[in-house]
């Protein structure tokens, strides 16, 4: 006999939520790795949680020169 916590829809929902959580973690790690790669390549380091506009402009100029 099945109870409410082991219903098919409950299991599917739990699997979906775990998958979404894993995807968010992976996306966050990729975003961080890409940011660090650009910082290493360009020598630009953010001064806090947000980039200064001038830093972003230098980064875009650097990327456009490299193709």
Residue the block writes with tokens 């975003």: 31
Predicted local distance difference test score (pLDDT) of residue 44: 74
Which structural domain, as residue segments, surrounds residue 46?
4-66
- Report residue 12 as tokens: 């599917």
Predicted local distance difference test score (pLDDT) of residue 16: 93
The residues near 51 (Cβ < 8 Å, ≥ 6 apart) are: 59
pLDDT of 43 above 90? no
**Total domain count for the chain?**
1
pTM score: 0.49
* Range name among 12-26, 31-45, 48-62 with the lowest pLDDT average: 48-62
The residues near 52 (Cβ < 8 Å, ≥ 6 apart) are: 46
Rounded Cα gap, residues 36 and 24, in angstroms: 18
């Amino acid at each position: 006999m099945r109870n409410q916590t082991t219903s098919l829809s409950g299991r599917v929902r739990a699997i979906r939520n775990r998958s979404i959580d894993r995807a968010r973690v992976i996306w966050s790690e990729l975003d961080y790795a890409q940011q660090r790669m650009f910082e290493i390549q360009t020598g630009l380091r953010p001064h806090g949680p947000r980039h200064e506009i001038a830093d972003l402009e230098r980064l875009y100029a650097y990327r456009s020169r490299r193709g």
